[in-house]
Amino acid sequence: MSKDCYFKENGVDHIDYKDVSVLRKFVNPHGRIFSTKRTSVSARNQRKLAQAIKRSRFMALMPFIER
């Protein structure tokens, strides 16, 4: 059974790098981005998600590494 994409289910068109609460759902406790198999996000949205997480890290909204 495959789950649907989180962003398609919730009607999200643009993945915003400033929405840290949503981005944290796709990052493990050590700060690594979960894979597509783990998140069940479509390939296109996984690329957008990774870019948004990287932007939020660069803008210091999210940490690169959590301990």
Residue spans per domain, the chain:
6-58
Overall CATH class of domain 6-58 = few secondary structures
CA distance 57 to 10: 24
Structure tokens at 23: 């981005």
Question: With the C-alpha atoms ordered 15, 20, 26, 32, is the resulting torsion angle positive or negative?
Answer: positive
User: Residue 3 pLDDT more than 80?
Assistant: no
* First and final C-alpha spacing in the chain: 34
pLDDT tens for 12-65 read 999 999 999 999 999 999 999 999 999 999 999 999 999 999 999 999 999 999
Confidence of residue 2 (pLDDT cuts 50, 70, 90): low
User: Residue 1 pLDDT more than 50?
Assistant: no
Residue appearing with tokens 């979960």: 34
Task: Give the DSSP letter of residue 38.
Answer: H
For residue 53, which phi and psi values (nearest 5 degrees)? -65, -45
